Amino acid sequence: MQAVESFSFERYRETVDWLLSHTKQRPRIAIICGSGLGLLADSLKNQESFQYTDIPNFPRSTVPGHEGRLIFGELQGQPCVCMKGRFHMYEGYPLWKVTFPIRVFKLLGVETLVVTNAAGALGDSYNVGDLMVIRDHINLLGLVGENPLMGPNEDRFGPRFPALSDAYDRKIRALAMETARQLGYTSFVKEGVYCMVSGPNFESIAEARLLHSLGVDAVGMSTAAEVVVARHCGLRVFGMSLITNKVTKDYDTQELVDHHGVLEVSQRRASTLQKLLTELVGKLESIDNSSGN
């Protein structure tokens, strides 16, 4: 069997030391902005920004809608770091490199990871423009042997066999739903199950029907692998999907989805997502940090 390649602990440390030497900010919350959702990163106060290409060991983001900058700053008084653009397996990166920033965040002192994405709806009750709080996920890649934790375990990050029954923090999810109620967003904010596929093609009708039968509410090409690594190293996680399209499950339909359409919906709904997450981040300090689950 071919050996599984990965970064050593020292490579992560090299990246962290570079960042610590270039900024005095010490984030406690990390936010990953999905396709077209970088507006939240732009709203940080006291910003310090770094191009991914300038950061040692960082991959490059190659997808439209993913600008490729790491931004430090404050949101609602909370010290944060935002990824304005993430990495994907379909760009040619192995999953250990896709998830590289997560362990960097851990070593920076981050305690909470917020992941956002653009996703296609499989659930019949979902509409374009809805926001879905992720209750759980199906890591389809992990089920078929593509897992970012494969290879020798690094005990300094976490255990060999991490549990994922508590992947998405219950208290933060409840707080998000209460915040949505306070903002008057209840008609389009729901909770559901997300599934990660590899992409870059969108799903065939047969694949969409299969995922729907498995209980998947929304499907996308990111997030689950990041969450696996985050939970492995002890970060608490909150996830939210912006529903940018309805996944076709009917052979008689003539509708086709494309990335340009995804970005258009993301840009129209980005301010709403930003408002909800900004309010939520401001309330995170009220949650017990001991376990959160």
Residue 253 lies in a domain: no
CB contact set of 251 (below 8 Å; sequence gap of 6+): 205
pTM of the model: 0.92
Whether residue 16 is contained in a domain is answered as yes
In DSSP terms, 243 is beta-bridged to: 119
CA-nearest of 220, 263, 201 to 35 is 263
Q: Where residue 290 falls among pLDDT bands split at 50, 70, 90?
A: very low
Q: For position 258, what pLDDT does the model report?
A: 64
In three-state form (DSSP H/G/I as H, E/B as E, the rest C), the secondary structure along 223-288 is CHHHHHHHHHCCCEEEEEEEEEEECCCCCCCCCCCCHHHHHHHHHHHHHHHHHHHHHHHHHHHHCC
d(CA 100, CA 88): 11
Each residue's pLDDT tens digit, 145-172: 999 999 999 999 999 999 999 999 999 9
Residues 6+ apart with CB under 8 A from 150: 4, 96
Does residue 217 lie within any of the structural domains?
Answer: yes
Q: Note the pLDDT of residue 235.
A: 98
Element spanning 181, H or E = helix 170-183
Position 271 in a domain: yes
d(CA 130, CA 189): 6
Strand partners, 220: 196
Tokens, residue 69: 């900058």
**Does 5 have pLDDT greater than 80?**
no
Q: How many CB atoms lie within 10 A of CB 147?
A: 18
CA dist., res. 216 & res. 191, Å (int): 11
Kindly state whether residue 1 falls inside one of the protein's structural domains: no
Q: Is residue 3 part of a domain?
A: no
The answer to whether residue 293 is domain-embedded is no
Residue 2 confidence (pLDDT) above 70: no
Helix (H, G, I), strand (E, B) or coil at 34: coil
Give the residue numbers marked as catalytic. 35, 66, 88, 90-91, 118, 221-222, 245, 259
Residue 285: other Cβ atoms inside 10 A: 12
pLDDT digits (tens, 9 = 90+) for 227-262: 999 999 999 999 999 999 899 898 887 676 666 766
Domain range for 212: 9-247+260-286
4 falls within a domain: no
Q: How far apart (Å, rounded) are the C-alpha atoms in residues 16 and 268?
A: 35
Phi and psi, residue 187, nearest 5°: -70, -20
Distances (CA, A) of 208 to 9, 126, 200, 247: 39, 15, 15, 7
Q: Note the residue count of the chain.
A: 293
3-state secondary structure of 111: coil
pLDDT in tens, 59-89: 988 776 567 899 999 999 999 999 998 999 9
Task: Find the CATH number of the domain harbouring 227.
Answer: 3.40.50.1580
- pLDDT averaged over every residue in the chain: 90
Structure tokens at 87: 């990495």
Q: What is the average pLDDT across 113-138?
A: 94
| pLDDT score at 291 | 46
Count of the separate structural domains present in the chain? 1
**Spatial distance between the Cα atoms of 29 and 153, rounded to a whole number of angstroms:** 25
> Per residue in 9-44, pLDDT tens?
999 999 999 999 999 999 999 999 986 677 888 889
